[in-house]
Chain A
Amino acid sequence: MAIVKADERRVKTGVHFMLGNFAVVEGAISAGCDFFGGYPITPANEISELMAKRLPEVGGKFLQGEDELCSIYACAGASLTGAKAMTATASAGFNYMQEGLGYCYTVEAPVVIADVQRCRGENYASQADVMQMRFGASGDYEAIVVCPSSVQELYDYTIWAFNLAEEFRNPVIIMSETTIALMRERLDIPAAQDIDVFNRKYTTLSPEEYKPFAASEFGCPDAAPLGAGYHAIYSLNPHDEEGRIDWDPDVFEHLYRRITGKILENRKKICKTESFLMNDAEYAIIAYGSEVRPAIEAAQMARDSGIKLGVLKLCNVWPVPEEQIAAVSKQVAKIFAVEMNIGKYASVIERVVAGRCPVQRVTKNRGLVHMPEEIYKAVLEGVR
């Protein structure tokens, strides 16, 4: 993997007042995105629309596919040529993309997908896809899912997503939400020389020596672009290190152990969390995405009432930041799992906490983000 500085022709350095969906596009362009395939769906449309304008300006290619399947597979094809490929969709469209996502995991094609979660088929707030992002495709794989909570983070985490995708040759999902995607906020775009851009590692071996699916750096194979004479087979079927389709149980097991192992063994390198008011906290909220915002306000309200509440913000939900969640469970008397669905990621938190402290679910699934008062009230009742 090579780390370079962002191309200044791609970076709109300065202070902006920008729509969340547009921040994703600028983050992608800064990170070197040169292919986008999309299909219209609300509330992700502004990503496609700005990509259609911006990509030709930087020499990239834009495709509006005939459906989500075309979009995700075109991304897979473009990625295998060496492109940094991206698509964007919203919950219902994300369903269709699971099939292509499964292919990308198996042939280790780096692709970035923004899922702007919605509910009730429209522009209502939701985090109900959190499990689909991890388990939506068939087969064994490990997902990387980053969870921005603001327009600034939509920009920053999109760059992070591209870098992770290149580093681990894995699809990376940006868990966006109606809440932040359709919000306008201040966005500070740094100077290009302050942005690190990762590029996947290409093989230096000859076609005769090269094995397209043999582990190299971090358990990832080195890449070879299509059409360069390496005659590799990129098949969804079980394949050996040479890329040959083979249903031998050992081949099958070796492949799936490696493509899941490259993520799990690098969990510490991938996972990020942020702590708010956690130093002396006796209670903690664990939240991700836009729910982090009311959670921090609720923690401040609790502090004003003398309750020592802190917040652990999960910058990514998959792979699970297990060490950070476990550390919180050893510190506090109770954890509040705040999310905008019927209580999905709470089950992951409960597994990691393993009974060290109680976990109270604070869920809301009615198309609206939590109000700080609602979380505060739940905490007040929960600490009694």
Chain B
Amino acid sequence: MSETQINPNRRFLREERLPHFFCSGCGCGQVLNYFTQALDALDMDLSRMVTIGGVGCTARIPTYLLSDTLHGVHGRTLAWATGIKLMKPELPVVIFAGDGDIASIGGNHLIHAARRNLDVTVIVVNNLNFAMTGGQVAPTTPMNSITMTTPYGNAEPPFDMVKLAIGAGATHVERWTTSRSAQCVAAIKRALQHKGFSFIEIVSQCPTNFGRYALKTDNPQKLVDWIDKEYTYTAADEKTKSAEELTGKLKCAEFIRESKPIYAGTNNSL
């Protein structure tokens, strides 16, 4: 028997806070893992970074990281980041946000931070519902889905957050799924190195709420399969599937990565 191997990336975590509070099968733990892999690969000093979470399951990710962290107010992550980056532009700032946090209550801050090309990384864990509050409909919930507040099915079309971010002016935008670990780590690495507004959406499984109510399963593997095969597609699928088959599904790709001036304050002419 070999000795127990400790994941070396645990050095990035607040050891005393483990085990984390995420439900078993939740994608937030995976995203935390991908982020530490990206930090390790880039040899970044987490203790000289600021990580931010609002409110929600995803918002808890930074509270396990050994960095300076702001946490606990719903939707205001980018507003905090704007003040921090104006005063300390050299500090890397990474935001972990759920879909409700960034696209619902924080939607206004999202489009304006993207418009300004604020130099931050936003990692969005899109679990397709408000999970921490018990599984209510979100602006990202697929149409017709049953949730706790759409007992007759969701009558609203969902946001495509990638199109929203690109349309608002984000200069680096990617979308992947939790099952695509290599792509997620690579995307986070690119985001951490990008000068400007990076928006990485990771479509994630929520077995406790979205799974049970919308898909009638709390099996995380079934959810991951549904996300990968039924709800998202890649460039390869575009060659084999008709446009009709891809309608209403989210594409996974690196969509945009371009260089534009970053934000340094409303009045920066002096």
Contacts and interface: CB of A to CB of B under 8 A. Distances in A.
Given A226-B91, A230-B68, A237-B72, A79 B48 contact: no
Contacts of B84: 77-78, 80-81, 226
B239 interface: no
A73 B268 CA distance: 20
Interface residues of B, number: 40
A100 B109 CA distance: 14
B73 interface: yes
B70 interface: yes
Interface stretch (A63-71, A117-125, A261-269, A311-319): A63-71
Contact of B82 (A74, A227, A235): A74
Chain A binding surface, main DSSP class: mixed
B83 A76 contact: yes
Contact of A56 (B17, B50, B68, B267): B267
Contacts of A61: 86-87, 264-265
Interface string A219-235: 00000001111111111
Contacts of B144: none
B267 A79 contact: no
A62 B68 contact: no
Contacts of A234: 68-71
Nearest to B60: A245
A227 B50 contact: yes
Contacts of A66: 108-109, 111-112
Nearest to A227: B91
A304 B131 CA distance: 71
A67 B87 CA distance: 19
A233 B269 contact: no
Contacts of A79: 83
A233 B63 contact: yes
A71 B264 CA distance: 15
B71 A233 contact: yes
A57 B50 CA distance: 28
Contacts of A71: 79
A55 interface: yes
Interface in A169-207: 207
A64 B266 contact: yes
B145 to A, nearest CB: 29
A57 B73 CA distance: 33
Interface in B82-132: 82-84, 86-88, 90-91, 108-109, 111-112
Q: Which of A57, A61, A72 has the most CB of B within 10 A?
A: A61
A35 B66 contact: no
A94 interface: no
Interface in A20-76: 34-35, 37, 52-53, 55-57, 61-67, 69-76
Interface in B188-229: none
Q: Which of B50, B83, B91, B265 has the most CB of A within 10 A?
A: B83
B207 to A, nearest CB: 24
A236 interface: yes
A83 interface: yes
A141 interface: no
A62 B265 contact: yes
Given A227-B49, A227-B91, A234-B70, A73 B63 contact: no
B80 interface: yes
A332 interface: no
B67 interface: yes
Contact of B79 (A70, A230, A237): A70
B82 A65 contact: yes
Given A35-B83, A66-B108, A82-B87, A73 B270 contact: no
B47 A73 contact: no
A67 B50 CA distance: 23
A85 interface: yes
A271 to B, nearest CB: 30
Contacts of B72: 103, 106, 235-237, 245
Contact of B71 (A62, A75, A245): A245
A226 B109 contact: no
Contacts of A99: 73, 76
Interface in A242-259: 244-245
6 tightest A-B CB contacts, nearest first: A77-B83, A236-B72, A73-B79, A74-B83, A78-B83, A56-B270
Given A52-B267, A207-B47, A235-B63, 16 more contacts: A34-B87, A35-B86, A56-B269, A56-B270, A63-B82, A66-B108, A67-B108, A74-B80, A77-B80, A78-B84, A81-B88, A227-B50, A231-B47, A233-B68, A233-B71, A235-B70
23 contacts: A35-B87, A56-B267, A62-B267, A66-B109, A69-B76, A70-B76, A70-B82, A72-B79, A73-B83, A76-B80, A77-B70, A77-B81, A77-B84, A77-B87, A78-B86, A79-B83, A80-B70, A83-B83, A100-B76, A103-B76, A227-B49, A227-B91, A233-B71
Interface of A: 34-35, 37, 52-53, 55-57, 61-67, 69-83, 85, 99-100, 103, 106-107, 207, 226-237, 244-245
Interface of B: 14, 16-17, 47-50, 63, 66-73, 76, 78-84, 86-88, 90-91, 108-109, 111-112, 264-270
